Structure 1
Amino acid sequence: MAEISSSGYKDYLAGLFAGVAAVATGHPFDTVKVMLQKHNAEAHMIQYRNGMECTARILQTEGIKGLYRGATSSFIGMAVEGSLFFGIYSQIKLHLQGGVQSGEPRPQVIIPSAACSGAINSFVLGPTELIKCRMQIQGTDSLVPISSRYSSPLDCALKTVKIEGVKGIFRGGYSTLLRESIGNAVFFSVYEYVRYHMHSNIKVDSSNYSNLVDIGIGIVTGGLGGVAFWLTVLPLDVAKTLIQTNPDKNCPRNPFRVLHSIYKRAGVKGCYTGLGPTIGRAIPANAATIVAWELALKMLGIKRG
């Protein structure tokens, strides 16, 4: 079902709530994913057997706060990214429909809307993820020397710029752009089509039950969309993590070259390093994102069929 009404700034405000919900729910899974990608996909590093061992080690050495390492930059980044992404997606979608609301989803509308908004947001998401990833891999474990650790996200950003220049903060930008444009085209295709067909086949008379059904459908569509996103673009995310966390500022920046190196060393499994915690994160984080977005739209008076 399509939007019945839309208001510019409200689309962006609803997206902000969605971004915050995503970080609050999914950041611990993301920390484990980044640790696995850094220390399992890269050659000659200490490896974790699986996500559970990685989680246990973080909890043992740092407690719960270790799983939220780097969350400050994520909350800021995802709040801005969520606001821009959902706002731009809604506005481009409406424009491509000629300002006319359409009931059934159309790929010629959904795919360019999602891909364009994802590409634009990659310029915000890239620097915040670089800071997040560098904060996540340091921890209190012995994998990163104390002299090389950052005291805060701001310290990380300042040191990165000092050592690598302004362009250093955008390291991994090409990988982020590819991941976000391709991944979000897949995400919204799955979300819009599943949502449309679920609403078409579920009829509820009571308004109370209708709200519960909307939340339930949001959980299902967000979760499925998130799984589809990561199954499609996780290799690009693995390459991005290695590019952004490599201490050598002259390291290769081409994600396909990095993936080729990983494939030669560890095969397809290496390119999907961190799949377990990534899928574990995708379902609750994306479900929370979609539910928060749709509830915010409803509270702001933007109705969806």
Structure 2
Amino acid sequence: MASENSNVRLVGAFAGVGSGLTKVAVGHGFDTIKTRLQCSPPGTYKGAVDCLLQTVRNESIFALYKGATPPAVGWAAIDSVLLGSLHNYRLFLIRHGFTEHTVGSDVKRLTLVGHGIAGLFAGWTSAFLATPIEQLKVKLQLQLQKSTADRQYKGPIDCARQIVRAHGILGLWTGFTGSLAFRSNFLWMFGSFEVLMRAFSKLDGTPYAISIPTANFLSGGLASFVYWIMAIPADNIKNRMMATPHTVSRPSFTATARQILAEGGYRGFYRGLGPTLLRAFPVNASALWVYEGLMRLLGAEKTRH
């Protein structure tokens, strides 16, 4: 029984690897445009389309995948921690009374509040790993030079070395408070995902019924809109903190927020929202479709509710 329980606890982490790799494959180009809009000086780009055109014209189409190496490795690890811990926080909350009866059944499931709390704690847990990986990604994405020889950072390892040389090992966690604020919004992601899944389940037995994988795909995509609308201000602050050159002192969360407000008013906190929303549905729909599908394949879907 102990072995079976251990396996149930590990499958969420394994399924998270598939989710993370899916995000990189589908969404990194959009992420590069978003990061440049958020972190470049005001007036550099007229909008997302102008940013895309300038990037491709000056640096080639492959520039959209600058900084892809850290997330290619890192997002698999980040989503393994995020979704693995999410799975285990759900199990913990079920054991500690955050349950309700499924309508028309004696089967107990995790409450909507429980799903939100699990998402919040999973977001905080993943921030410890996500911060250094995202910092390397941001710094590499913002290098505009076409030739590698002309860039300040020759790659993720060289970038990490320069940061550690300037600020010590803790320098890799520059932007950690921004990352915590940003990743708190997984409360909305997984809470709204569950709301949508339950709404789709009510269509069973009607002409509008859809399969569970389709419901996973649609719920993941739609929930991502809720998530990003709530999270984009903290994402702007986090990325600006991470984009600060390593040659200057590490920025604080409040100082960065004040700088964004001074430069662009409250609209400044929503820079990059356009490409983010374009990216959000396909990336998160695909990622959660992969995650939930692997959970079913590995026999752990019964723990979700």
TM-score range, shorter chain: 0.7 to 0.9
Q: How many residues matched? A: 290
| Cα shift readout 1:174-229 (whole Å, capped 9, x = no counterpart) | 10011102x10010110011111211223489xxx99x722321222111211111
- Which of 140, 164, 178 is equivalent to 1:175? 178
TM-score (norm 2): 0.87
Identity of aligned residues (%): 26
Partners of 1:34 and 1:274 within 8 A in 2: yes
Partners of 2:89 and 2:118 within 8 A in 1: yes
Structure-2 residue corresponding to 1:231: 229
Match status 1:155 vs 2:155? no
Distance in 2, matches of 1:301 and 1:69, equals 37
> What code does the residue aligned with 1:25 have?
V
Distance in 1, matches of 2:8 and 2:206, equals 27
**3-state DSSP class of the match of 1:119?**
helix
Partners of 2:174 and 2:250 within 8 A in 1: no
Distance in 2, matches of 1:153 and 1:234, equals 25
Match status 1:262 vs 2:265? no
Partners of 1:48 and 1:54 within 8 A in 2: yes
The CA deviation at 1:141 is 5.8
Structure-1 residue corresponding to 2:48: 51
Partners of 1:105 and 1:196 within 8 A in 2: no
Distance in 2, matches of 1:270 and 1:74, equals 26
Match status 1:16 vs 2:13? no
Structure-2 residue corresponding to 1:193: 195
Partners of 1:18 and 1:292 within 8 A in 2: yes
Structure-2 residue corresponding to 1:281: 279
Match status 1:132 vs 2:134? no
| Cα shift readout 1:246-272 (whole Å, capped 9, x = no counterpart) | 126544633233222222331121111
The CA deviation at 1:46 is 5.3
Partners of 1:105 and 1:192 within 8 A in 2: no
- Point out the more displaced range, 146-155 or 290-299: 146-155
> What code does the residue aligned with 2:145 have?
T
Distance in 2, matches of 1:202 and 1:281, equals 30
> What code does the residue aligned with 1:190 have?
S
**3-state DSSP class of the match of 1:227?**
helix
Partners of 1:15 and 1:293 within 8 A in 2: yes
Residue ranges of structure 2 left out of the alignment (5+ in a row):
103-108
Cα RMSD after superposing both structures: 2.6
Partners of 1:252 and 1:258 within 8 A in 2: no
Structure-1 residue corresponding to 2:238: 240
Structure-1 residue corresponding to 2:80: 83
Structure-2 residue corresponding to 1:214: 212
Distance in 2, matches of 1:148 and 1:239, equals 25
Match status 1:112 vs 2:117? yes
TM-score (norm 1): 0.87
The CA deviation at 1:69 is 0.9
Higher RCO structure, 1 or 2 (CA under 8 Å, sep 6+): 1
Superposed, which structure 2 residues align to 1:59-70 within 5 Å?
A: 59-70=56-67
**3-state DSSP class of the match of 1:237?**
helix
Give the direction of change, closer, same or farther, for the CA distance of 1:95–1:72 in structure 2 (3 Å limit): same
Give the direction of change, closer, same or farther, for the CA distance of 1:153–1:51 in structure 2 (3 Å limit): same
Residue ranges of structure 1 left out of the alignment (5+ in a row):
none
| Cα shift readout 1:29-70 (whole Å, capped 9, x = no counterpart) | 10000011111xx4xx55100111111122223333211111
Give the direction of change, closer, same or farther, for the CA distance of 1:239–1:99 in structure 2 (3 Å limit): closer
> What code does the residue aligned with 1:185 have?
L
The CA deviation at 1:291 is 0.6
The CA deviation at 1:99 is 7.6
Partners of 2:119 and 2:186 within 8 A in 1: yes
The CA deviation at 1:287 is 0.6
Partners of 1:69 and 1:139 within 8 A in 2: no
